[in-house]
Amino acid sequence: MSDITVHIIDREGVQHEIAAPTDMNMNLMEVCKAYELPVKGTCGGMAMCASCHCYIESDHELNEPSEDEEDMLDQAFFVEDNSRLGCQIFMREELDGLTVRLAEESE
């Protein structure tokens, strides 16, 4: 069992330092929900809503967004170059120290 540290900046600007397991096939949306951070994860991680939209604030190398994820980001708002869907970012050792900021909710 190995945990990595992830920094989540919530919509009020408060930074939360949380421990995320890398051996449970968890994604960032699920990690946020597990810590009761305000991420809805409406579609359950299928990249079919944008309720886990976030900005990557550190320079970690991430997996490229899939076509599904890009499509969904087209329907999100306040999308920036560093926008991602949390549900498509899986926790692995290389992401230790990752910093993300939650995007504004739109409904």
Partner 1 sequence: MIETDLLIIGAGPTGLFTVFEAGLLKMKCHLIDSLPQPGGQLAEIYPKKPIYDIPGYPVVMAGELVDKLMEQIKPFNPGFTLGESAMSIEETQDKCFIVTTNKGTKHKAPSVAIAGGLGVFTPRKPPIEGLTEFEEKGVDYIVRDPEKYRGKRVVISGGGDSALDWTVFLADIASEVSLVHRRTSFRGHLDTVDKVQELAQQGKVKLITNAEVVDVHGQSELDRLTIKVKGSDDLSMECDHWLPLFGLTPTLGPIGDWGLEIEKNAIVVDNATDYRTNREGIYAIGDVNTYPGKLKLILCGFHEATIMVQSAFKRAFPDKKLSFKYTTVMGGVGSLE
Q: Report residue 99: phi and psi, to 5°.
A: -120, 125
Q: Quick check: 48 binds partner 1 (CB under 8 A)?
A: yes
Using alpha carbons only, how large is the chain's radius of gyration in Å? 12
Query: By the 8 A CB rule, do 107 and 42 touch?
Result: no
Give ∠ CA 19-93-37 in degrees, rounded to 5.
30
Q: Quick check: 25 binds partner 1 (CB under 8 A)?
A: no
How many residues touch partner 1 under the rule CB under 8 A: the total is 21
DSSP 73: H
Stretch that binds partner 1, among 1-9, 22-30, 55-63, 65-73 (CB under 8 A): 65-73
- Position among 29, 31, 39, 49 found at the interface with partner 1 (CB under 8 A): 49
**Could you tell me the smallest distance in angstroms from the CB atom of residue 61 to partner 1?**
21
Residues that bind partner 1 (CB under 8 A): 40, 42-44, 46, 48-49, 67, 70-71, 73-79, 104-107
